[in-house]
Amino acid sequence: MIVKILGSGCSKCQTLEKIVRELVEELELNAEIVKITDIDEIIECGVMLTPGLIIDDGIVVSGRLPSRDEVESLLKSAIT
């Protein structure tokens, strides 16, 4: 699984990264976490508003900070 966190480094982007990293560890997922901060690269991924979250090339969140429970659900859905 590849999880991409997209954002310039604002507090919401940092919070999303923290949530993802904690959950990947807690759920013992075999996941590569990639942080993308370059605006051109973010746009290339198809995300126009940050923070963004991509799991295995699918945009699952864009322009808002999801709850921890939502991120957990998204990660679990990606492995089934």
Residue 80 pLDDT > 80, yes or no?
Answer: no
What is the rounded (10 degree) CA torsion for 22, 25, 29, 30? 110
Query: Where are the strands (E) in 1-80, listed by range?
Result: 2-6, 32-36, 52-55, 58-62
Q: Which two tokens stand for residue 11?
A: 């507090």
Q: What is the pLDDT of residue 79?
A: 86
Helix (H, G, I), strand (E, B) or coil at 11: helix
Average pLDDT over residues 8-19: 94
Among 1, 2, 10, 39, the one annotated catalytic: 10
pLDDT tens digits for range 23-70: 999 999 999 999 999 999 999 999 999 999 999 999 999 999 999 999
Among 3, 6, 13, 42, the one annotated catalytic: 13
Residue 72 pLDDT > 80, yes or no?
Answer: yes
Q: 26, 68 in Cβ contact below 8 A?
A: no
Q: What is the pLDDT of residue 9?
A: 87
10 is an active site residue? yes
**CATH code of the region 2-78:** 3.40.30.10
Helix (H, G, I), strand (E, B) or coil at 72: helix
0.85 surpassed by pTM: yes
| Domain extent listing, the chain | 2-78
13 is an active site residue? yes
